[in-house]
Structure 1
Amino acid sequence: GIRVGFFIQLGYLGEELEDILATRALVTQANPDIIGVSVSYPLPGTKFYEEVKNQLGGKTHWQDSDDLAMMFHGAYDSEFYRSVRDLLHTQVD
């Protein structure tokens, strides 16, 4: 049969706790079969990249980032997003 998968990106500028809670509610309601969770990685040539490029330091490519490691200063730190990922995976698995 058909399986449903979600790929969730967290950590965009302007994100608030209410947004994360709404994402969690959506995952609960939709009940996908599988979920992937990542933080947002700025890609050169995008408006998002231009907004955060001065914060990137030596990390300028998503390949430079470790497991859900923020490459710029977001609302929350990397450990917070790892916890959110774990929570969402617990809901789905």
Structure 2
Amino acid sequence: DKTHLLQKYGIEAGMFIMLGYEREGIRELEETVEHLKRSNPDIFLTTVAYPIKGTPYYAEVESRVLAERDWQARSDRDLTVAGRFSARFYAYATRWMVSEVALHRAATHGGVSLRRRVKLWANAKIGRIGMALTHGEREKRGTLVVQPSQATS
């Protein structure tokens, strides 16, 4: 694994995890957590994918891109995709992912107080329960950026 090789030579390794791509489900999120546990990066950051015009991802979801603000007042980060899991779901998924990986690191590397481990465990469980409770919610905030008549031109 490249992460371990970098760390072997004293180079810190980081990962950037993007959630929310098409066809991503619970199984893929679980696989991502397992990958993070195995890879054990020094740091990882998460964000929910957002469509950027001109990218293959934007082309794939163009007819479902939503915005809550007018184009003058927004950036690409303000865009979301109708029909995918809700922002609340991804907030819980991120809470679970970050806490679960940190708990694994605490268990394998030690040096973490019992109080901190209990807090990580509780946050991981809250994240998973929140995911279960919001699993049926779909993104629908805002209005379509590309109107149906424009999508075919």
Question: What TM-score range do you get, normalising by the shorter chain?
Answer: 0.7 to 0.9
Cα 1:26–1:74, aligned 2, differ >3 Å: closer, same or farther?
farther
Equivalent pair of 1:42/1:48 in contact (CA under 8 Å): yes
Going by fraction, where is helix more abundant, 1 or 2? Answer: 2
TM-score normalised over the length of structure 2: 0.50
Q: Which has the larger radius of gyration?
A: 2
Aligned residues: percent identity? 30
TM-score normalised over the length of structure 1: 0.77
AA matched with 2:35: L
Q: Please show how residues 13-52 of structure 1 align to structure 2 within 5 Å.
A: 13-52=22-61
Q: Could you tell me which runs of 5 or more consecutive residues in structure 1 were left unpaired when the two chains were aligned.
A: 66-70
AA matched with 1:78: A
Aligned equivalent of 1:68: none
Could you list the structure 1 runs, at least 4 aligned residues long, displaced by more than 6 angstroms after superposition: none
Q: Could you tell me which runs of 5 or more consecutive residues in structure 2 were left unpaired when the two chains were aligned.
A: 1-9, 104-153
Higher relative contact order (CA 8 A, sep 6+): 1
Q: Give how far 1:5 is off.
A: 0.8
Equivalent pair of 1:9/1:39 in contact (CA under 8 Å): yes
Q: What is the RMSD of the two structures over their aligned residues, measured on CA atoms?
A: 2.1
Equivalent residue pairs, number: 88
